[in-house]
Amino acid sequence: MLIAPGERFLSEFADLLSEARVRRGPFSLLSGRAYASGLFRGREVAVRLQLKRSRYGQGYLVVAVRTPAQGDLDAAAFLAQTWRGAAGQARSLLDDRNLELSVEAGWLKGLWRPQGLVIFPGRFSAETWTQVLEAMTTLANSLGSGTDVSRHNADGG
């Protein structure tokens, strides 16, 4: 059976996860929305793929990794905890891959929505997305290192 490239992308992404599940709703063909979840290096991962479904619509991919940190982190707190060492290198790799990062409700989220003349989501690269998952896992681990962000910021860090 022929599968649309976007649908194939999510299935191939799910192959990187253990205990992977791919969910498509009854109207996913029309909405272009599908989900995958599973574990990567022992961390929960959730993925949402939104394919372009209108002339002016935009496709995007959200990759979320569960963190030990609870709640949300603003940009300053996130930078304070991830600016050096392995976390800094991981963040740099994710910046190079054009992922917009945020921390919400205990999840580190990377939003990828390429701009310009890009066929979204394009050909799946296991190497690229494994690097992304590894970098996000490194960042998620750094967020649970016990750093007191409010004290760190008050000390001028």
24-59 pLDDT, tens digit per residue, is 777 666 667 889 999 999 999 999 998 877 666 788
pLDDT of residue 157: 37
44-103 pLDDT, tens digit per residue, is 999 999 887 766 678 899 999 998 877 777 777 777 777 778 888 999 999 999 999 988
Q: Give the SS3 label for residue 117.
A: coil
pTM: 0.80
pLDDT of residue 36: 94
pLDDT of residue 26: 72
Q: What pLDDT band is residue 17 in, cutting at 50, 70 and 90?
A: very high
139-150 pLDDT, tens digit per residue, is 998 886 544 333
Q: Give the SS3 label for residue 59.
A: coil
The Cα 86–Cα 69 span in angstroms is: 18
The Cα 4–Cα 96 span in angstroms is: 27
Residues 6+ apart with CB under 8 A from 33: 25, 48, 49, 50, 51
| Domain boundaries along the sequence of the chain | 5-59+93-145
Mean pLDDT taken over the chain:
81
pLDDT of residue 112: 92
Q: Dihedrals φ, ψ of 40, to 5°? A: -135, 120
Angle subtended by helix axes 126-143 and 85-96, to nearest 10: 140
